[in-house]
């Protein structure tokens, strides 16, 4: 589904990704772990197309389509969802309003009929329920006044509504208390653990992986993947640290 080959990227002319290769097939959940500054968030932003993250080499395709030929909104329509480590607050714009426009823009891009107001609200309510989030919160301005945990749950609700093929979730577990971590983990499983979908979890800790069991774990260090393994690799990292395991 997602095929990354020898990806190199710079931020403010500084090389961050230095030849990263990774293949994620449909139905798989991958986790990328690694020390601070390894390039984990850069990977997410580069795939999402954030301005300022420049691809200087390598390729990335989603179901054969060259991601780097697409604008950020076209990548979203192609099925790529990026869960933000720090979701942005947008005063005056409600979740419901912008998500309906976003969902319909994506559907239009794929040649599908738009959702009516009623259909959209029904869908939003269902996904909010999955994340135990009150529907009223989605009528509020995007992330404004939300706690860290609420922002992350709202990210997962958006993922549920937009129904992507692949979700790249950047430290979805940071800032969550134990209950919210479980709710988010269960949400990810309910929405994304399907034969035709895939997930790339970017995380520092094993704890999210207790709820969302990865099929593969990779260690990212110095801008490339230095070690790959099964779920046991995450436990090994937790016990011995990145330096010992990735050495």
Partner 1 sequence: MSALPTRKDEAFRYADLAALAALWPLPVQDIRVAAGETGASAVVLDGANDAAQDIAITLGDGAEYDLRLLNAGSAYGRISVKVTLGKGAKFHLGAAQIAGGEQTAEIVTEVVHAEPDAVSSQVVRSVLGGKAAGTYLGRVVVARGAVGTDGEQSIRAMLLDRTATANARPELEIYADDVKCAHGCAVGELDQQSLFYLAQRGLPPAEAKKLMLHAFIAEAFVGAGEEEALTEAALKALDAVL
Task: State the residues that interact with partner 1 by CB under 8 A.
Answer: 48-51, 71-73, 75-77, 81-82, 84, 87-88, 90-93, 97-99, 101-103, 105-106, 109, 141-142, 158, 162
Alpha carbon distance 58, 6 (integer Å): 5
What's the CA gap between 110 and 95, in Å, rounded? 22
Nearest to 96 by CA among 141, 129, 159, 145: 141
> Considering the complex, what minimum distance in angstroms separates the CB of residue 195 from partner 1?
24
Q: Are 133 and 154 in contact (CB under 8 A)?
A: yes
- Shortest Cβ 189–partner 1 spacing (Å): 22
Comparing CA positions, the residue from 80, 74, 96, 63 lying closest to residue 163 is 80
Q: Pick between residue 92 and residue 195 the one whose CB is nearest to partner 1.
A: 92
Least distance (Å) between residue 219 CB and partner 1: 26
CA distances from 197 to 53, 86, 178, 213 (A): 26, 24, 26, 15
CB of 104 to partner 1, least distance (A): 9
Looking up tokens 């999210």 gives 208
By beta-carbon proximity to partner 1, the closer residue of 49 and 214 is 49
Nearer Cβ to partner 1, position 68 or 98? Answer: 98
Distance of CA 245 to the CA centre of its chain: 25
Q: Which is nearer to partner 1, 110 or 132 (CB)?
A: 110
Give me the phi and psi of 238, to 5 degrees please.
-60, -40
Q: Smallest distance from the beta carbon of 70 to partner 1, in angstroms?
A: 11
* Burial tier of 127 (Cβ tally within 10 Å: 0-12, 13-18, 19+): buried
Q: How far is CA 105 from the centre of its chain?
A: 20
Q: Which is nearer to partner 1, 146 or 242 (CB)?
A: 146
β-strand pairing of 80-83 with 166-170: parallel
Q: How far is the CB of 61 from partner 1 (least distance, A)?
A: 18
**Closer Cβ to partner 1, 5 or 104, answer by number:** 104
Residue 197 C-beta: closest distance to partner 1, Å? 17
d(CA 152, CA 141): 15
Report the residue number, 41 or 206, with the smaller CB distance to partner 1: 41
């Amino acid at each position: 589904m997602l095929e990354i080959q020898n990806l190199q990227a710079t931020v403010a002319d500084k090389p961050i990704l230095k030849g990263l290769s990774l293949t994620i097939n449909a139905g798989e959940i991958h986790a990328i772990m690694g020390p601070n500054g390894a390039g984990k968030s850069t990977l997410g932003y580069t795939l999402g197309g954030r301005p300022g993250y420049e691809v200087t080499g390598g390729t990335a395709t989603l179901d054969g389509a060259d991601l780097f030929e697409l604008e950020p909104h076209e990548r979203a329509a192609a099925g790529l969802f990026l869960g933000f480590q720090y979701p942005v607050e947008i005063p005056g714009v409600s979740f419901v309003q912008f998500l309906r426009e976003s969902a319909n823009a994506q559907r239009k891009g794929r040649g599908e009929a738009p959702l009516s107001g009623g259909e959209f609200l029904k869908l939003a309510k269902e996904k909010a329920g999955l994340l135990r989030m009150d529907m009223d919160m989605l009528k509020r301005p995007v992330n404004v006044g939300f706690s860290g945990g609420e922002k992350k749950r709202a990210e997962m609700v958006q993922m549920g509504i937009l129904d992507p093929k692949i979700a790249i979730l950047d430290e979805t577990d940071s800032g969550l208390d134990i209950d919210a971590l479980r709710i988010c983990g269960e949400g990810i499983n309910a929405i994304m653990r399907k034969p035709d979908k895939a997930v790339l979890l970017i995380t520092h800790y094993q704890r999210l992986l207790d709820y969302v069991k990865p099929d593969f774990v990779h260690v990212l260090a110095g801008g490339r993947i230095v070690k790959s393994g099964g779920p046991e690799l995450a436990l090994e990292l937790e016990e011995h640290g990145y330096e010992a395991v990735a050495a």
